[in-house]
Amino acid sequence: MVKIRATFPAPIKINYPGITEIFSSGEIPELEQYGLKEPEPISGYLELVGGEDAGLRRIQSYFWDRDLLKTYKETRNGLLGFDYSSKLSAWLAVGCLSPRLIYEEVKRYEKERKKNDSTYWLVFELIWRDYFRFICKKHGEKVFDIAGIKNQTESWRRDSSDFQRWSDGETGVPFVDANMRELNSTGFMSNRGRQNVASFLVNDLGIDWTWGASYFESKLVDYDVCSNWGNWMYVGGVGNDPRENRYFNILRQGKNYDKNGNYVRAWIPELAAIKGFDIHQPQEMPGSKLKELKIQLGSTYPHSMVQMEKWA
């Protein structure tokens, strides 16, 4: 219901001060100087390269070359691969692309190709992004407070051992573990995965939601302070949500979004021999079948931290 201000045109030239040389570039330090190693590329994932040029190439590929925007709403809850969603969040997060530029490109697409629920939905996601920015501007440091913006005091657990199992992807709940392992390996996790692992940490383990928010902050390649903390407040029940006590049934979510278990199979190779949806609940399989597949719960894969029967 508002008018979106136009992007500024790219400058044709930049007027530097009348100095021959502004600065000396020096040497770019190597990763080894910081005790870091080059990350190994993950098969099947697009290598995220920083900069505006790379972000614009992604828009060109996703919107125009591959014409994937028209089905965004139907595919956005995907889990495997790179093209089930726009994947523009990393470039947005560090300012390589502006939300106005993406908005304008969507509007151009609607004029030249197609206007439908998918084009509306991508703009809707940009509005959510703005919304959390306004929430942070309004409430300031309260978004980092365990009581959130509702000043709601809860009794949270602070069990380092249980938190470590969650962060390492060793909870014994395959759908949760697969998402956490993807995050740890790539710095990325789908929107659907983020909601599920957050709900599991907060609602099933009862662990301090700020621990989860801080862990995401340390890992996400598309980390955005407002979106991250705003969403975690929401999961923790201390943020903006008209529906109280939002809770995810992990098995039902797995059935809806990974019915054949391909996503879990991709990230938990120790369970890959299990066919179909059974991979989501190995503890329900006969011991003889698991033995035949060389799977030993508690050894090759951990026992579940929670009673999964509640999701049946």
- The CATH number covering residue 59 comes to 1.25.40.80
**CATH code for the domain of 267:** 1.10.579.10
Mean pLDDT across the chain, nearest whole number? 91
Query: What does DSSP assign to residue 18?
Result: S
Region 143-165 average pLDDT: 93
Q: What is the pLDDT of residue 199?
A: 95
Residues 158 and 292 placed together within one structural domain of the fold: yes
- Band of pLDDT at residue 58, cut at 50, 70 and 90: very high
- Band of pLDDT at residue 116, cut at 50, 70 and 90: very high
Q: What residues act catalytically?
A: 125, 128, 156, 191, 209, 232
Q: Given 105, 140, 175, which residue is the final one in a domain?
A: 140
Q: Which two tokens stand for residue 96?
A: 């390589």
Q: What is the pLDDT of residue 189?
A: 94
Q: What is the pLDDT of residue 103?
A: 97
Residues 124 and 160 placed together within one structural domain of the fold: no
Residues 292 and 204 placed together within one structural domain of the fold: yes
User: Is residue 104 domain-resident?
Assistant: yes
Element (H, E) at 264: helix 262-267
Region 170-181 average pLDDT: 97
Find out whether 137 and 88 touch, Cβ atoms under 8 Å. no
Q: Which of 157, 160, 135 is nearest to 148 (CA)?
A: 135
Residues 98 and 229 placed together within one structural domain of the fold: no
Of the listed ranges 25-29, 58-62, 116-120, 166-170, the one predicted with least confidence: 25-29
User: Is residue 224 domain-resident?
Assistant: yes
Question: Concatenated DSSP letters for 204-249?
Answer: IS-B-HHHHHHHHHHH-TT--HHHHHHHHHHHTTSSS-SSSS----
Residues 117 and 154 placed together within one structural domain of the fold: no
Amino acid at residue number 260:
N
Q: Which two tokens stand for residue 201?
A: 């940490």
User: Is residue 9 domain-resident?
Assistant: no
Domain count, the chain: 2
pLDDT surpasses 60 at 77: yes
Q: Given 117, 140, 163, which residue is the final one in a domain?
A: 140
Model pTM score:
0.90
HSE, CB side, 13 Å, CA atoms: give it for residue 278.
14
Give the span between the Cα atoms of 246 and 202, in whole angstroms. Answer: 10
Q: What is the pLDDT of residue 217?
A: 97
Sign of CA dihedral 203, 207, 213, 219: negative
Of the listed ranges 10-14, 57-61, 282-286, the one predicted with least confidence: 10-14
Task: Please list the residues that pair with 297 across neighbouring strands.
Answer: 301
Percent of all residues in the chain with a pLDDT value above 90, rounded to a whole number: 78
pLDDT surpasses 70 at 20: no
Residues 225 and 122 placed together within one structural domain of the fold: no
Find out whether 214 and 158 touch, Cβ atoms under 8 Å. no
Residue 297 backbone dihedrals phi, psi, to 5 degrees = -65, 135
Residues 207 and 174 placed together within one structural domain of the fold: yes
Residues 221 and 111 placed together within one structural domain of the fold: no
pLDDT surpasses 60 at 22: no
Residues 152 and 112 placed together within one structural domain of the fold: no
- Band of pLDDT at residue 274, cut at 50, 70 and 90: very high
Domain span holding position 169: 145-296
Residue 207 backbone dihedrals phi, psi, to 5 degrees = -90, 145
Residues 86 and 128 placed together within one structural domain of the fold: yes
Q: Which two tokens stand for residue 26?
A: 């020096």
User: Is residue 201 domain-resident?
Assistant: yes
pLDDT in tens, 236-248: 999 987 566 678 8
Find out whether 171 and 200 touch, Cβ atoms under 8 Å. yes
Q: What is the pLDDT of residue 44?
A: 56
Burial of 132 (0-12, 13-18, 19+ CB in 10 A): buried
How crowded is residue 263: how many other Cβ atoms within 10 Å of its Cβ? Answer: 26
User: Is residue 309 domain-resident?
Assistant: no
Find out whether 230 and 244 touch, Cβ atoms under 8 Å. no
- Band of pLDDT at residue 16, cut at 50, 70 and 90: confident
How many residues are recorded in the chain? 312
How crowded is residue 288: how many other Cβ atoms within 10 Å of its Cβ? Answer: 8
Q: Which of 136, 161, 236, 157 is nearest to 195 (CA)?
A: 236
Give the span between the Cα atoms of 104 and 102, in whole angstroms. Answer: 5
Give the span between the Cα atoms of 175 and 179, in whole angstroms. Answer: 6
Region 295-301 average pLDDT: 94
